[in-house]
Amino acid sequence: MGYYKMRLLLIIILTILVNKIHGQIPSDSLLKSSYSQTIENHFKQIDSTTNYKDIFIICKLDNSTLIKTVTGRPIVYISDSSKLTQKLRPKRKHYYRIIYTISHKNHNNSSDTIDIDISEFLFLPKGHDFQICGGIGSYVNSLPDGRLIFDNKFKTWTYLTNQQMRQQWYDKQEK
């Protein structure tokens, strides 16, 4: 392949990559704001019946600007899951502690849709950890807790709550 053809090919590839990436990476502040909104919506939906006042969340993002309390309960962020200590484990025989994780990923490898999920883990007195499996496997139960969608027309990100996604799904089913 000649020099000019190679150069043209490189320019085309770089143009495609720049156009694909430009505007489709949410800013840290938008991501943190979406995390806070997801946390707030998640904990307002569930009735926490644990014997612990604090909500423990493992979060890889800088949590300095994330929401600090929800439903009157303080949130304790853990930036490194390896720092979970025996202090977090329940002290009584029949009690447990729930540790949450929040993370995000591209939905179906799409650069314009980012799912935000909250997972739960039980910490039991004898040190056995296991993840709680949720839902019954239907589409509605597998929706993320929050979603960021990039609008190519307006070059903006839109945040959807789990409730909004469920409503959209139900509306489609009725048609």
The neighbouring-strand residues paired with 96 are none
Looking at residues 63-75, what average pLDDT do you find? 90
42 neighbors 23 (Cβ within 8 angstroms): no
The neighbouring-strand residues paired with 146 are 116, 161
**With 80 as the cut, is the pLDDT of residue 88 above it?**
no
**With 50 as the cut, is the pLDDT of residue 164 above it?**
yes
Gap between the Cα atoms of 151 and 38, Å rounded: 20
**With 60 as the cut, is the pLDDT of residue 25 above it?**
yes
Domain chopping of the chain, boundaries: 27-174
**With 70 as the cut, is the pLDDT of residue 99 above it?**
yes
Gap between the Cα atoms of 94 and 83, Å rounded: 24
Using DSSP's 3-state secondary structure scheme, residue 106 falls into strand
pLDDT band for 155, please (50, 70, 90 cuts).
Answer: confident
For residue 134, the model assigns a pLDDT of 42
Looking from the CA of 96 toward its CB, the CA atoms found within 13 Å total 14
Q: Which residues, at least 6 apart from 165, have a Cβ–Cβ distance to it below 8 Å?
A: 143, 144, 147
Looking at residues 139-143, what average pLDDT do you find? 65
For residue 141, the model assigns a pLDDT of 61
pTM: 0.73
122 neighbors 129 (Cβ within 8 angstroms): yes
Structure tokens at 158: 């839109």
For residue 104, the model assigns a pLDDT of 93
pLDDT band for 10, please (50, 70, 90 cuts).
Answer: low
Q: How many CB atoms lie within 10 A of CB 135?
A: 10
For residue 147, the model assigns a pLDDT of 93
The per-residue pLDDT of the chain, averaged, comes to 77
Instruction: Provide the percentage of residues in the chain whose pLDDT is more than 70.
Output: 63
